[in-house]
Amino acid sequence: MLGQGVSLLKQGSSEAEGLTILRELSSDADLLPVDRAEARFLLAVHALSKGDDDGFSAELSELSGDLNASYFHSRLEELAKTRKLLGLAKSLPELNLSEGNAFLGTNRVRPGVKTLESGLQYEVLKAGTGSSPLSDDEVEVHYHGTLLSGEVFDSSVERGEPSKFGVGGVIKGWTEALQLMRVGDKWKLFIPSDLAYGESGSNSIGPNETLTFEVELLSITPRPEPVSPESNATLVLDPNSTALPSPVIDLNGSAVKPDGNKSLGDLPLKVDLNGSR
């Protein structure tokens, strides 16, 4: 009969009939206690799947007083927790986005807070006088990052050591802010989720979380200029037809530029009287 009840539940057109069978079984004194408990368990699972919290609670309450139903009772509690977690997981991105937008809407009218076109907000805590970095520069900073709840998720300040990274290699909100800062500046950033980690989140940062950072720009290391090829080096053929960089003596004042892997005595010598190569 239990199997028949479950089978009918799975058939949308026979759901009511299946529920009737399970209810009858759950109170049938002629059945073994464990079978009655299983019928109630199945009724509770059905209620849970339909979002019927009252029906679920009623069946769970009946099982809680039955010594023969401890297994089914504990399983239902686990299922209820799982359902709650799944519900939170589905609603969390929307909840975080809503809370973040509400915070930013209130924060933008606070004295001292500036809002950029991107939605990034910042407040100057200390003004510096140094230069500003470019997107391909490396910077050294101290920072302290928190969620809107106040929970700290990352902090070089707490670690006691500044961090170095490329301006273009961090979240969008940081990349934008750093290029506006000067060395010596300390700003408080309020970063919308779309300029941070978005719906995917990161570690302890949930989906669509708005983040706040205190950032102090300590120094800039410009990207090294690309090294141009040596314009004074020419390729000549030695007697063995091996191509080697030839040292050039320019009588107009250029320095001798030998191959770093060869001594002057090992290489043919070319004298340029006109300064050409």
Among 63, 88, 113, identify where a domain stops.
88
User: How far out from the chain centre does Cα 114 lie?
Assistant: 25
In a domain, 167, yes or no: yes
- ∠ CA 114-119-122 to the nearest 5 degrees? 30
In a domain, 106, yes or no: no
| Helix %, strand %, coil % of the chain (to 5) | 40, 20, 35
In a domain, 52, yes or no: yes
CA distance 87 to 124: 40
Q: One-letter amino acid identity for 221?
A: T
- Reading the chain (277 residues) residue by residue, the pLDDT tens digits are 444 443 444 444 456 766 677 667 666 666 666 666 677 777 777 776 767 777 767 766 666 666 556 666 677 777 666 665 555 556 778 889 999 999 999 999 999 999 999 999 999 999 999 999 999 999 999 999 999 999 999 999 999 999 999 999 999 999 999 999 999 999 999 999 999 999 888 888 989 999 999 999 999 998 777 666 555 555 444 555 554 454 544 545 554 455 545 444 454 545 454 554 4
In a domain, 102, yes or no: no
Question: SS3 string of 91-105?
Answer: HHHHHHHHHHHHHHH
List Cβ<8 Å contacts ≥24 apart for 59-62: 62/26
Among 69, 88, 107, identify where a domain stops.
88
- Positions marked catalytic: 143, 153-154, 171, 197, 213
234-237/113-115 β-pairing: unpaired
Cβ proximity of 247 and 258 under 8 Å: yes
CA distance 2 to 53: 23
Total domain count, the chain = 3
In a domain, 228, yes or no: no
